[in-house]
Structure 1
Amino acid sequence: MTEPTVTDLPVEDGTLRVLRFGSGPRIAIAAHGISASGMSFRAVAGQLPAEWSLFALDLRGRGGSSGTPGPYGIDRHAADLCLAAEELGNGGPVALTGHSMGAYIALRAAARRPELFDRLLLVDGGLPLPVPEDADLDGLLDLTLGPAMERLRRMYADDEAYVDFFRMHPALGADWSADIEAYVRYDLTGPQGARCSKAREDAVRQDGRDLLGSTGRCGADLGRLAVPALLVHSPLGLLGQEPPMLPAAVVEHWVERVPQLTAELVERSNHYTILLGTHAKTVAERLAGSWDVA
Structure 2
Amino acid sequence: MRVLERNNVRLSGPEGAPPMVLAHGFGCDQGMWRHVAPAFERSHRVVLFDHVGAGGSDVAAFRPERYSSLDGYAEDVLEILDTVDLAPVTFVGHSVSAMIGALAAARRPERFARLVLVCPNPRYTDDGEYRGGFTSAEIDELLETMDENYLGWSAFIAPTIMGVPDRPELGEELTSSFCRTDPAVARHFARTTFRSDNRADLARVSTPALVVQTREDVIAPPSVGAFVHRHLAGSELVTLDAVGHCPNLSAPDQLVAAMRGYLAA
Shift of 1:204: 1.9
What residue is the counterpart of 2:225 in the other structure?
Answer: 251
Which residue, out of 210, 214, 222, partners 2:196?
Answer: 214
Contact 2:91–2:101 (CA under 8 A) maintained in structure 1 = yes
What residue is the counterpart of 1:135 in the other structure?
Answer: 136
Moved over 6 A (4+): 166-170, 183-186
Number of aligned residue pairs: give it.
250
What residue is the counterpart of 2:183 in the other structure?
Answer: 201
* More displaced stretch, 107-116 vs 125-134: 125-134
Contact 1:98–1:122 (CA under 8 A) maintained in structure 2 = yes
Which residue, out of 14, 20, 27, partners 1:23?
Answer: 14
Answering whether residue 111 of structure 2 is matched by residue 119 of structure 1, we say: no
CA distance change for structure 1 residues 292 and 130 in 2, over 3 Å: closer, same or farther? Answer: farther
What residue is the counterpart of 2:40 in the other structure?
Answer: 48
What residue is the counterpart of 2:132 in the other structure?
Answer: none
What residue is the counterpart of 1:282 in the other structure?
Answer: 254
Kindly provide the amino acid, as one letter, of the partner of residue 42 in structure 2: A
What residue is the counterpart of 1:234 in the other structure?
Answer: 214
Identity of aligned residues (%): 23
Alpha-carbon separation, structure 1, partners of 2:159 and 2:136:
32
Alpha-carbon separation, structure 2, partners of 1:230 and 1:249:
16
What residue is the counterpart of 1:263 in the other structure?
Answer: 237
Contact 1:107–1:126 (CA under 8 A) maintained in structure 2 = no
Q: CA RMSD in A?
A: 3.6
Contact 1:234–1:268 (CA under 8 A) maintained in structure 2 = yes
Shift of 1:114: 0.9
User: What SS is found at the alignment partner of 2:9?
Assistant: strand
Map 1:162-173; keep pairs closer than 5 Å.
Answer: 171=163
Structure having the higher helix fraction is 2
* More displaced stretch, 168-177 vs 205-214: 168-177
Contact 1:85–1:116 (CA under 8 A) maintained in structure 2 = yes
Contact 1:131–1:212 (CA under 8 A) maintained in structure 2 = no
Kindly provide the amino acid, as one letter, of the partner of residue 163 in structure 2: A
Kindly provide the amino acid, as one letter, of the partner of residue 140 in structure 1: L
CA distance change for structure 1 residues 256 and 69 in 2, over 3 Å: closer, same or farther? Answer: closer
Deviations 1:266-289 (A, max 9, x none): 1123212x1113x21232333344
Contact 2:89–2:111 (CA under 8 A) maintained in structure 1 = yes
TM-score, structure 1 normalization: 0.71
CA distance change for structure 1 residues 97 and 168 in 2, over 3 Å: closer, same or farther? Answer: closer
Kindly provide the amino acid, as one letter, of the partner of residue 203 in structure 2: G
TM-score, structure 2 normalization: 0.78
Kindly provide the amino acid, as one letter, of the partner of residue 276 in structure 1: L
The unaligned stretches of length 5 or more in structure 2 are 129-134
Contact 1:47–1:280 (CA under 8 A) maintained in structure 2 = no
Which residue, out of 47, 70, 80, partners 1:74?
Answer: 70
CA distance change for structure 1 residues 176 and 212 in 2, over 3 Å: closer, same or farther? Answer: closer
CA distance change for structure 1 residues 167 and 107 in 2, over 3 Å: closer, same or farther? Answer: closer
Alpha-carbon separation, structure 2, partners of 1:227 and 1:208:
27
Alpha-carbon separation, structure 1, partners of 2:57 and 2:152:
18
* More displaced stretch, 93-102 vs 253-262: 253-262
Kindly provide the amino acid, as one letter, of the partner of residue 69 in structure 1: F
CA distance change for structure 1 residues 105 and 254 in 2, over 3 Å: closer, same or farther? Answer: closer
User: What SS is found at the alignment partner of 1:268?
Assistant: strand
